[in-house]
Structure 1
Amino acid sequence: MIARFVFALTLAAGAPAFAADAPPPPSPPAANRFAATLVPAERFEIGAVQVERHGKGRRALILIPGLASGSWVWQGTARSFLGDHTVYIVTLPGFDGRAPVPGKQMEAAQRALAQLIDTRKLVKPVLVGHSLGGVLALSLAAQRPDAVGGVISIDGLPVFPGAEDLTPRQREQMAQQLARRMAPADQRAFAAQQQDYMRGTGVLDMARADELAKLSARSDPGAVLQYMAETFAMDLRPALPQITAPVLLIAPYFEADASIHEMTEQTKKAYYGALIEAAPTAQVVTVAPARHFAMIDQPEQVNEAIRAFLKKL
């Protein structure tokens, strides 16, 4: 942005006198404060995902963004841990300008994560996932228990909340209905959806919500709907006993939202605990006040919870 500004000034200085009456060129758009700013030590493709590597240290952390998110969502977290850990941030297919893949999006993402662990010979990495990324982390830890050293899920549950009592067929049917009902007419409608979501569910601050929405709107609308449908249809609870690594579930809590459902901080913690209890070593901590993107609303609380978890491994 600075370079473009200097270039504009240079043009103005060298223009003939009559150009002074012309309207000034439009100002460049303000930088989005949540856009990715960390320069990775390495960026590469593996399977269906893009990977950025930051730092160099002991046990690796693999940061997995949630729905319609890119590496930008983990910038603050990466800064906090790259001094002591090798941090890998992945961007899933269909998100943040990346093309979706044919077939099941979640399966392709999980294969790529497993390939990252295998090809880089990562020893017991800790998977840190937000929302859908947390679901992927739990699923991979259940399928590859010997390869995963820990799971941290920020508001990513083994079954979609409110759907835990549905049969698999009912979840599948509702998932397809949900995808059809939410299908945007065009990219502009999708951007409006993202803004509504960020303002209503994503974060507490409306200015932050609008900036984050501009970034999430770079994702492919069809892929977002497919991920939603696939995740809604999943129930990982039967697979949780296969996880041998410790699990930390971070539950954001915002009283103004939770009071609508007559849910206190303790009852929400208990509810999340009931959904994850089949994992042999699991704990739930709450972060408040925070909405779904807890690492944006309360980065210090989230980082402290992650740090305390890592110290116990």
Structure 2
Amino acid sequence: MKKYIILVIALLFSALCLNVFAQTKQYPFEVLKTGKGKQAIIFIPGFASSGEVWKETKVNFEKDFTCYTLTMAGFAGVKPQENATFKNWENEIANYIKDNKIVKPIVIGHSMGGGLALAIAADYPDLISKIVVVDALPCLAALMDPSFKSKENNDCAPMVTQMTTMTDTQFLDMQKKMIPRLLQDTTKTEMLLDWSVKSDRKTFAEMYCDFSNTDLRDKIATIKCPSLILLESYFINLKPAIDEQYKNLKTGKFQYANKGLHFIMYDDKEWYLEQLSNFIKS
């Protein structure tokens, strides 16, 4: 009897530990859950962006879908975490889907978030039902150097030092020069600038360096789910190079925006929402 009681206590203690672990597990992102529906959509923002970048997109889907909107750790004021790498973020988003028993979600990502959507669909081909990639390429560096190869043990320390030793004014000036290259809708400029300056500099540098060294061109051959690739208008001029990058993606449907820059959801909003709605609801 005494042995039986000890066994029961041990089992209860184990169950308690597992429950506490489940409640306290930290992922490298914050999640905002909205909407209602059996089908889920996971929104992944791009580099240094808040999940708020999807605000105007989500209102079109929250009636029929449960939406999980991420903001990555270290970006747009979210507390940073150690081990900020592209691969870690990819795996932890996949773990979140599995841990929360989200069945076959649609994953939508912008910029680096689009890269994460591609990587998740490639490495976890049975986990999700569809992906939408908003203005991202399998290998950004290869657009300038088609022979680019990722470096093993890539040293990001120089970039981290450069970013973290900048004064606030220097960093702000750099971002002020960068954002007009990414966005035509000037009503959103201050918002994007605010997200950037609220981002953790170390995370900013580490992820920029790591994503610049990421090459998914071969990996995307394993993607099985339907994939919608929405690209900014300028990229139509580089179509042969982009087709070459995406040649291993057999499930892709490609559409080029009519106007605007990198933030397609703002610069060509009506076209973007039409493409998204047709693909998601089909």
**Band the TM-score falls in, shorter-chain normalisation:** 0.7 to 0.9
Residue 203, structure 1, aligned to residue 183, structure 2: yes
Identify if the C-alpha distance between structure 1 residues 251 and 53 changes in structure 2 by more than 3 Å, giving closer, same or farther: same
Task: List aligned pairs for 1:3-82, cutoff 5 A.
Answer: 46-82=26-62
Of all paired residues, the percent bearing the same amino acid is 26
* Structure 1 range deviating more: 176-185 or 47-56: 176-185
Summarize deviations over 1:180-234 as a string: whole Å, max 9, x none. 66666123322222222112x1211334323321232211122111111101111
Summarize deviations over 1:84-119 as a string: whole Å, max 9, x none. 211110011110112322224323322321122112
Identify if the C-alpha distance between structure 1 residues 45 and 308 changes in structure 2 by more than 3 Å, giving closer, same or farther: farther
Task: List aligned pairs for 1:287-306, cutoff 5 A.
Answer: 287-306=257-276
**Greater length-normalized contact order (CA 8 Å, ≥ 6 residues apart):** 2
Partner of 1:128: 108
> Distance in 2 between the 1:207 and 1:116 partners?
34
Partner of 2:132: 152
> Distance in 2 between the 1:171 and 1:206 partners?
39
Identify if the C-alpha distance between structure 1 residues 115 and 143 changes in structure 2 by more than 3 Å, giving closer, same or farther: same
> Distance in 2 between the 1:273 and 1:105 partners?
27
2:135–2:262 CA contact under 8 A, matched in 1: yes
1:247–1:281 CA contact under 8 A, matched in 2: yes
- How far residue 170 of structure 1 moved from its aligned partner, in angstroms, is 9.5
- How far residue 155 of structure 1 moved from its aligned partner, in angstroms, is 1.1
> Distance in 2 between the 1:220 and 1:178 partners?
14
2:160–2:202 CA contact under 8 A, matched in 1: no
* Structure 1 range deviating more: 130-139 or 94-103: 94-103
Partner of 1:25: none
Q: Secondary structure of 2:96's match?
A: helix
Identify if the C-alpha distance between structure 1 residues 177 and 283 changes in structure 2 by more than 3 Å, giving closer, same or farther: farther
Partner of 1:109: 89
Gaps of 5+ in 1: 1-43, 255-264
* Structure 1 range deviating more: 98-107 or 234-243: 98-107
2:110–2:136 CA contact under 8 A, matched in 1: yes
Q: Secondary structure of 2:126's match?
A: helix
Partner of 1:222: 202
- How far residue 146 of structure 1 moved from its aligned partner, in angstroms, is 0.4
Q: CA RMSD, aligned part only? A: 2.4
> Distance in 1 between the 2:264 and 2:164 partners?
26
> Distance in 1 between the 2:158 and 2:239 partners?
29
- How far residue 167 of structure 1 moved from its aligned partner, in angstroms, is 2.5
Residue 281, structure 1, aligned to residue 251, structure 2: yes
Gaps of 5+ in 2: 1-23
Which amino acid in the other structure matches residue 58 of structure 2? A
Partner of 1:190: 171
Q: Secondary structure of 1:81's match?
A: coil
Partner of 2:279: 309
> Distance in 1 between the 2:265 and 2:60 partners?
12
> Distance in 1 between the 2:196 and 2:115 partners?
19
Which amino acid in the other structure matches residue 28 of structure 2? A
Q: Secondary structure of 2:229's match?
A: strand
> Distance in 2 between the 1:196 and 1:67 partners?
16
